[in-house]
Every structure is written in structure tokens, then in C-alpha cells.
Amino acid sequence: MIIRSHFTQLTVYHEQYDSPLLQSILTNPDAYLVDRSYKKLYKHDRTTTVVLVTGGNQKFVIKRYNTKNLWHIIRRSVRSSRAAICWRLASRFIDIGISTAPPVAMIEKRFGPLRGRSYYIAEHVNGALCIDYLSDNAGADHIIGGIKRIFSIMLAHRVSHGDMKAANLLVTNKQVVLLDLDAAKEHKTGSRAARAYRRDRSRFLRNWNAQSSLHLRLDKEIPNLAD
């Protein structure tokens, strides 16, 4: 892992991804967020801007965490940046056995110790949306098993995702990959972890009609906790 710390910017990246493309992104990530010749826009709102950047044999997803107003800038300046949180938790999820988009780099704009806008860069993952895959392959036991495994690991390791909509799970190479860790957390107590787990489980099941056979099967397979 390479760390570059300057008065105006903190940059961290994994050296196996080092390339002219990555160095260019690290130098000026905003250029890739506006240059249509390089990118595919996934999302742009007050909270985040997300693009796909392709160069050579590399594909990176860049997520910029947007600042809403002066008060938001002041509050975020003394807390861990959202990019830093995603960077740490992506590595944590991989370490405990949950597949996610491999972290490539993170950037924090800074003024001395104060943090400004931040950027998170991950390797692009090709795959089918989980909700589409299960709708077309209702008997996909291996995928349902993979979903059950993700929930079981989160429960055992006191981590939560925070936004378990089906659009945040991809099926790739017959495996389930969990994306978008913006709301993910590690919990210090079992009670907090249990509350977060119930919310994750409930949010995931809401992707399907409560009377559908797929919902009923997932409700049976995914570990449940008594209130």
C-alpha cells in the first residue's frame, strides 16, 4: 500500500493497480468526472457522483462524495471521510470472507488536518443485478446460499451494510458480490449489531412481494433473530 500525505491532499492506493491511468486519476480525479470521453456516468446527485473510467485493460469506478453546503463542509472536516470509511470497510469485508469490489485508492482533499472533499476508487465488477438474476433463475440454490452466507458472516462479525437493496448485490461467476459500502458499519456491541442486522435483513426482503415464493424462501433461508 502506498501512502502520500501532503498539506492539501492525502492519497492512498494499492500498488498492484499502479498505472498511468491511476496516477492521472489520483492527480486530478475531477477531470474524469466531467470528461465524457473517459467515463460512463452511474450517478450524480447532491450526495455523490459515480463514474466508470476505462483505460487500457483497467476499469475503475470513481465515487466522489459531494459537499452540500458550508456547514456540511465544516462537520465533515473533523471526521473520518466517507472515502476513508469505505476504504477501511471494503478491506474488512474482504478479510472476513464477503466479496465486494476490490478497493483501489482513496483521496482526501485537505487543508492541514481538516478534511475536504473525498474520493473512493474501486475496481469495476461485471455482473448481473441480484434481483434480475433471481427473477430469471428462481431455483438458483448456489446464489441463495451465497446470500445466506453474507448475512451469516455479517451477523458473526458484527458488521452491517446499511442499504441492503438488491441493486447493491451482483451475481458474478456464480458468486454474490456486495457493493456500495457507504452506510456500512462495525458495531462494538452485540445489541447494536443485532439491531443493524435486523434492518439489513428486513430491507433485503422488501425487494420482493411478501407473498412471492422467492420472498418466502429467502425469509426461511436467511438467519433470523428474535426481537
Domains of the chain plus CATH, in order, are: 2-123 (3.30.200), 128-221 (1.10.510.10)
Other CB atoms within 10 A of residue 140 CB: 16
Vertex 127 angle, CA 205 and 96, to 5°: 65
Tell me the sheet residues that pair with 43. Answer: 50
The HSE-up count of residue 66 (CA atoms within 13 Å, CB side) is 11
DSSP calls for 210-225: TTSHHHHHHHHHS---
Other CB atoms within 10 A of residue 221 CB: 14
Q: What is the pLDDT of residues 67-123, one digit of tens each?
A: 665 555 556 555 678 899 999 999 999 999 999 999 999 999 877 777 778 999 999
Q: What is the pLDDT of residues 128-186, one digit of tens each?
A: 888 888 876 666 888 999 999 999 999 999 999 999 998 899 999 878 999 999 899 99
Under DSSP, the state recorded for 16 is: G
- Of residues 154 and 43, the one with the higher pLDDT is 154
Closest of 98, 78, 213 to residue 147, by C-alpha? 98
DSSP calls for 168-187: GEEEETTEEEE---TT-EE-
Q: How much is the mean pLDDT over the chain? A: 87
Residue 220 has pLDDT above 90, yes or no: yes
Give dist(CA 218, CA 145) in Å, integer: 10
pLDDT category of residue 66 using cuts at 50, 70 and 90: confident
Give dist(CA 114, CA 124) in Å, integer: 30
Cell, residue 182: 457507504
